[in-house]
Amino acid sequence: AQKITQTQPGMFVQEKEAVTLDCTYDTSDPSYGLFWYKQPSSGEMIFLIYQGSYDQQNATEGRYSLNFQKARKSANLVISASQLGDSAMYFCAMTPGGGSYIPTFGRGTSLIVHP
């Protein structure tokens, strides 16, 4: 069984500063994928970034990067130069390897960006 833990129910950050959203995971699979979604107040879920367990380098997508530390089983999301539009719920999730497609989501972190 796989598990995702997001320990920060809410985070605040000043506009233009960087922020890290924590995510730890637990799995016995040697192969897996980790990813993040954003859910603004409008409700739609938006895919942000993906990291495979065998990827050597941390994934980056624009202002988003995934700080993957395999030994610590963490997959933190780093948002650089925060913008007001980054205010949203952020969900960490994972899929197991071995051909299974069933994802597990964390409970989410609410991020508020202050001007």
In the complex, the residues that contact another protein under the rule CB under 8 A are: 6, 9, 33, 35, 37, 43-45, 47, 50, 91, 93, 95, 101-108
Q: Which is nearer to another protein, 43 or 115 (CB)?
A: 43
Q: Which is nearer to another protein, 37 or 68 (CB)?
A: 37
Q: CB of residue 64 vs another protein: minimum separation in angstroms?
A: 14
Q: Which is nearer to another protein, 24 or 104 (CB)?
A: 104
Q: How far is the C-alpha of 114 from the C-alpha of 42, rounded, in Å?
A: 19
Q: How far is the C-alpha of 96 from the C-alpha of 110, rounded, in Å?
A: 25
Helical (H) or strand (E) element with 61:
strand 60-61
Q: How far is the C-alpha of 109 from the C-alpha of 113, rounded, in Å?
A: 13
